[in-house]
Structure 1
Amino acid sequence: MRWIFAVLALAPLPALAQERSPEGRQALAELAYVLGESHALRQACSGTGDQYWRNRMIRLVEAEQPDAGLDRQIKEGFNAGFVARRSEFPRCGPGVKRAQVAVAGHGRDLSARLARAKVAVSVAESEPSTDMAEPARPR
């Protein structure tokens, strides 16, 4: 499941959540939920000492540098995803593997959406503005 967020790793860092649209901010919150789900599912089979997805969540927050409201929303999303999957899959079994595949697909889609949004913002920022006056020409 490491490939899920490979697209995010390619996005320019830091992505600063303040630059994100409301839709992008919602996608980040959804991604945090998916990370929480992934954390619970992985721990169901690997044990509570496995912190792989929690560490990825920490790196996401560090990279995004969210404002206080989004930081709270992201962390609550992670915790909600964790609790939901932990209660559904308290132990390892065949259902865990199926759930991991489904969660991975959702995470991949969210990551791609976030990366496309960031690229679109970066391209728009680099285009010259047409509403500014022409610079004076030297004589």
Structure 2
Amino acid sequence: MPASVPPPYEGDLLRIAEIMGALHYLRPLCGASEGQRWRNEMQALIEAEAPTEDRKETLTRGFNNGYVAFERSYRTCTPAANLAVQRYLTEGSKLAHDIVARYGN
């Protein structure tokens, strides 16, 4: 497959990138002591899925958009922020599982 053609699961990858960005902001806000876990997970995703600079930028933009969206909305941990964390953990896990199940070797 040419590098310029995104894989059929590109939309799901972009959503995972957004989720990881949101979690990178929300988890520490709500007391999780994970350090750079979600940034490191994003770096691993980029290394595995972004052979071109354009794809790297697209995935990075998704991560940053997820982070900024919640940074603008939450200054402290609230019940809604905790609910978003739980929903995003569930959604991200499902998306990753579905990608592997459908497209894994």
Range class of TM-score, shorter chain: 0.7 to 0.9
Once the two structures are TM-superposed, the CA of residue 117 in structure 1 deviates from its matched residue by 2.9
Which amino acid in 2 is paired with 1:114?
I
Q: Please tell me whether Structure 1 or Structure 2 has the larger radius of gyration of its CA atoms.
A: 1
Counterpart CA distance in 2 for 1:34 and 1:41 is 10
Structure 2 residue 49 is matched with structure 1 residue 70? no
Unaligned segments of structure 2, at least 5 residues: none
- Identity among equivalent pairs (%): 29
**TM-score with structure 2 length normalisation?**
0.81
**TM-score with structure 1 length normalisation?**
0.63
Partner of 1:111: 96
Partner of 1:14: none
The count of corresponding residues between Structure 1 and Structure 2 is: 101
1:1-139 matches, cutoff 5 A:
18=3, 22-46=7-31, 50-119=35-104, 122=105
RMSD of equivalent CA atoms: 2.2
Do the aligned partners of 1:44 and 1:86 also contact (CA within 8 Å) in 2? no
Over 3 Å counting, the alpha-carbon distance change for 1:21 and 1:76 in structure 2 is closer
Counterpart CA distance in 2 for 1:69 and 1:117 is 25
Counterpart CA distance in 1 for 2:71 and 2:28 is 9
Which amino acid in 2 is paired with 1:64?
E
Once the two structures are TM-superposed, the CA of residue 21 in structure 1 deviates from its matched residue by 5.5
Do the aligned partners of 1:42 and 1:50 also contact (CA within 8 Å) in 2? no
Counterpart CA distance in 2 for 1:41 and 1:57 is 15
* Deviation larger for 31-40 or 103-112: 103-112
Once the two structures are TM-superposed, the CA of residue 68 in structure 1 deviates from its matched residue by 1.9
Which amino acid in 2 is paired with 1:111?
A
Do the aligned partners of 2:30 and 2:82 also contact (CA within 8 Å) in 1? no
Over 3 Å counting, the alpha-carbon distance change for 1:25 and 1:34 in structure 2 is same
